[in-house]
Structure formats: structure tokens, C-alpha cells
Chain A
Amino acid sequence: MIGWWISDSRRFGVQAHGLLRAHKWWLLRRTSQASVLALFMLGPTAGIWIARGNFAASEIGGLFTLGDPYMVAQSLFGGNFPAMPVLTGALIILAFYLVVGGRVYCGWVCPVNVVTDFAYWLREKTGLTRDRKLDRRTRLVILGATLAASMVTGTIAWEFLNPVSLLQRAFISGIGFGWAIILAVFLLDLFVSRRAWCSHLCPVGAFYGQIGRGSVIRVSARNRDACTDCGACFNVCPEPHVIAPALKGKASPVILSGDCHNCGGCIDACPVDVFHSGFRWEKATPTKSAAPSSEREQTVG
């Protein structure tokens, strides 16, 4: 009944809620990724100019400019004070991700996410589960290194390599031999280490992760008392370490780590509806099981 192509981590969800609901957030996410790209492709390919430019900086409907805050940061480190349009554009983007969740960029916009998710799915299906563990803080080192390199060379340093920029430009203007870099990311994720790029190395994700530490919209393990310890959420999550404090902790049920993509994978995969989308200030709610809840109320106050 359940197709072989369905990710193992979603099987419980599919059994409990059916195919569509167990992929609800996944479908929304893919739609979002495709739409953003399509919006930028409409101009060059069909002559419908809703959005000009690309992910680095854009002009929306001829009304306002958006800019990539990470690139603006590198530009500043490179000794250049950017002009007003891209500076204010970057602030708009910064404010947006402060509301919706920093790494929403990764889960809902970035095209490389599709590549690495595919690598992960293939990894699961081919049983390539042996792993060379990477330290997920490596990306912070790389983030620091890109800023330092910008300063040393006086350039926007990461743009000489950035697979994220390369791949979005592949659809909007062209990529050339840059496919090799995208392939490298894919092979790295498939053969070398689980979710190596997005969850361990990518400095763009690390940058948005820092924004995400303060962002408002979050996933909450509101119904955590119902948890059956099936492990589906940990398997589906690209950053599994973010779940444990919310799901198994005694304090707030909200996933507060900046690393969370707000991808909704856990909401999809959970067979007993533990996870819901909510806001960061959500408190631990008293639950039906009397003893643990009263105990929690005392500790939380």
C-alpha cells in the first residue's frame, strides 16, 4: 500500500494520516521553492517582469529592492559601503526572516535544499547509511572564514564558490561548468556524510541560522505528552538536535534553536500530531495527564 518511494521517516505519518497530509508541509515547501525560482525566471524566459534580478538582489514589481544580507555583510567586510537600495533591501530581508524563521531561507527558498534532500532520500533508499560524522559547527568556522577572506581580498569572497548562488543563477541566467560544484555537493551528501552540506558546512545556512535564533514563528512540540518515541521526527529532520530540548525537555515545548528550518517535516512525519506551528513565546501548556503537568507548572512558574 505504501509506495517504495516514500521516505522511511514518513511511513508512520502516512499510515496514520494518509499520503497527502503526511506530505503537506513538504508540498508547500517545494511549491514555495519552485515559485520563487519561477518568479525570477518569468522575466528572462517569458518577458513577464514581476521580479527582476536574482536571489542576490532583486527589484520587485519596479517598487522596491531586496538584497541578500549575507552578501551585504561580506561587502562591508570587503571594505565597501553598499549603496542604499541593496542596503535597505537587505534590512527588509533580515526583518522578514526574523519573523518567519532564519533558516526558512534554507527550507523554503534555497534550490540546493532540493539537491541535498534528494541525496538524503537516495541515501536512505540505497542503504548508504555509513556516515563520516562532521561537526555541525564547521559551518560557523566557514562563515567566519568567508568574512575574513572578504576582508583579506576586498571582495565578496563566498560568491566565488557559493553553490546556492550558482544553482539559482543556473535557472535565471546560466551556470557553465558550475554544475560540477552542484554535483560535488550532491555526491558529498550522498556518499560522504549525512546532510553534510546544508547541516554542517554551508555558511549561508549558518548565517541565516544566526538570524533564526531570534525569530518569531516556530514549531512547537505542543502535544509532546502524546509522543510514542517512534523516532519519525528525528529521522525526517535535517537538524535533529533541535528537537530534543523541545520534545523531551521540561521547559518550553517550542523548538528555539536557530538551526530549525521551520520546514514542517516533523509536523508531517509525526503519527500522533505532537508538532504544530506556533510562536516562540508559547509556554508549556497544562496537559491531561495530571501529575507531570502540575510538576511542570511549578518548575516553569
Chain B
Amino acid sequence: MASNPRKMNRRTALTETGRLAGAVCLGSFSLAALIQTTGRADARAMRPPGAQPEDDFLAACVRCGLCVQACPYGTLSLAEWGQEPPVGTPFFTPREVPCYMCRDVPCARACPTGALDSEIAIRDADMGVAVLVGHEDCLNYKGMNCSICVRVCPIRGDAITLEPGEVNGRAIMIPTVHSDHCTGCGTCEKHCVTGHASIRVLPRDLGLGGQGRNRAGRSA
């Protein structure tokens, strides 16, 4: 590496190479450790539609913000230092501005790296899944006919429906999310009338129970 030719026998050459490799290891593992401590996109910060799974996303996204600038609603922003997702990556907070599910998905089309699947059809997007988390505050659970989440849903009638139920002997209509249709756009979370949203978009692994580990009752 040095420009002046130095006298080097095999021993010093090996020592120097070892030292160099050690220094590179020191640097790379320090940086890797730092990366492990930074947040992943969490339940408060959703990725744009068409985003690859988080691990692949972080290897692909160069943090250029083309998706952010392509969004006509100002939904997306690049994470600043100290915000939940890794610095510079695009995210949105549904309670502030949800994804309006443009048919042409301009954000994903704008992505130059493949971090967002530019071929995605918006109905197939998986930004997360809406979950009714606030049973104690949800007005429908209190017997009122709020149903705002059902009425604002862009995939009305499919992603979220009202199912009859009963609480304390009273008939109520329960907003029920159907995860195979819900894209996690967050419109329901945005419009929920309770102080903090009673219905929230969560990443699928946080929001869904998944199949039981016990095979009982399932056909073989």
C-alpha cells in the first residue's frame, strides 16, 4: 500500500497483513455492533408499499428519497437521526398520514434499487395489518355505531367488516379485519376517533396470531 518500496521480508509482510486484517475486523465488527443496536422499522413506522422484508430492504435501500418525493400525499419521509427506523430509510406513520393506496403506486415505481418492488399491485401490498387493539375504548364495543374504520377503509367490505357480537348481553357490531385483504395502509388508524387509535397497523408478525403449534383439530 505504501508508495515507497520498503524492505520487507516474509515475516514482516505477514505481520503487516495480520495487523491490517485485524484492524479491518475491529472496524467492521464495531460498525456491525452499532448497526445491531439501531432500531428496525417498528410498529410506529411502516415501510412504503412493495417494500422487501426488512433484512433485504436494508441491503437494497440507498436512502435516496425518490419514493418520498414521488408520493403525492406527503405520506413518506426519510428517517432522521433518532427516529425509529434506521437513519435515512423511508417510512410513514399511519396516524399522521396514511398510505392512500394510489393505483399506480408512484413510490414503488420510483425506487431505483429494487428495495421497493416496482411491479407491485397496490392490493397486494403488505405494509402491515390493521388490528383492533383498544377494545376498552372502541366505540363500537361500547355499543355505539361509530364504525368509522369500516367506512373509511379503501378496501371496504373486504379488508374490514362489521360482525355481530355480544357484550354484557347487548348486541354490538365488531369491526373485524380480514388479514388476507388488509394492506396495512393505515387509513382506519388515521381516522379512529379515540385519543390514541383503537385500531392500529402493526407488522404482520406483531399483529397476527399465526397458526397454532398444536396440530390438534387440523386435517392431516
Contact = CB atoms under 8 A, between A and B. Distances in A.
A161 B60 CA distance: 17
B32 interface: yes
A142 B27 CA distance: 6
A38 B27 CA distance: 34
B199 to A, nearest CB: 29
Interface string A16-54: 000000000000000000000000000110000100111
Interface stretch (A64-72, A215-223, A285-293): A64-72
B68 interface: yes
B31 A67 contact: no
A153 B23 CA distance: 18
Given A89-B112, A144-B24, A149-B27, A57 B62 contact: yes
Contacts of B24: 141, 144-145, 148
A301 interface: no
Nearest to A89: B112
Interface of B: 1-3, 20, 23-32, 34-36, 38, 55-56, 58-66, 68-70, 77-83, 86-88, 110-114, 118
A178 interface: yes
A127 interface: no
A173 B1 contact: no
A169 interface: yes
12 contacts: A52-B66, A59-B110, A72-B62, A83-B118, A145-B26, A154-B55, A156-B61, A160-B86, A174-B77, A176-B80, A176-B81, A176-B82
A65 B62 contact: no
A75 interface: yes
Interface in A133-158: 137, 140-142, 144-150, 152-158
Interface of A: 43-44, 49, 52-54, 56-59, 65, 67-68, 71-72, 75, 78-80, 82-83, 85-86, 89, 137, 140-142, 144-150, 152-161, 165-166, 169, 172-181, 257
A245 to B, nearest CB: 8
Nearest to B67: A53
Contact of B59 (A44, A58, A78): A78
A89 B114 CA distance: 14
A39 to B, nearest CB: 13
B27 A181 contact: no
Given A86-B114, A137-B1, A160-B86, 4 more contacts: A56-B64, A58-B64, A86-B113, A160-B87
Contacts of A166: 81, 87-88
Contacts of B32: 149, 152-153, 157
Contacts of B81: 166, 175-181
Contact of A57 (B59, B79, B112): B112
Nearest to B117: A83
A169 B63 contact: yes
A80 B56 CA distance: 7
Nearest to A58: B64
A140 B1 contact: yes
Contacts of A49: 69
Given A149-B27, A165-B63, A160 B113 contact: no
B112 A160 contact: no
Contact of B80 (A67, A82, A177): A177
Contacts of B65: 53-54, 56, 169, 172-173
Contacts of B78: 169, 173-174
B34 to A, nearest CB: 6
A145 B27 contact: yes
B23 A141 contact: yes
Contacts of B28: 144-149, 152, 157
A52 B59 CA distance: 22
B161 to A, nearest CB: 38
Nearest to A257: B3
B64 A175 contact: no
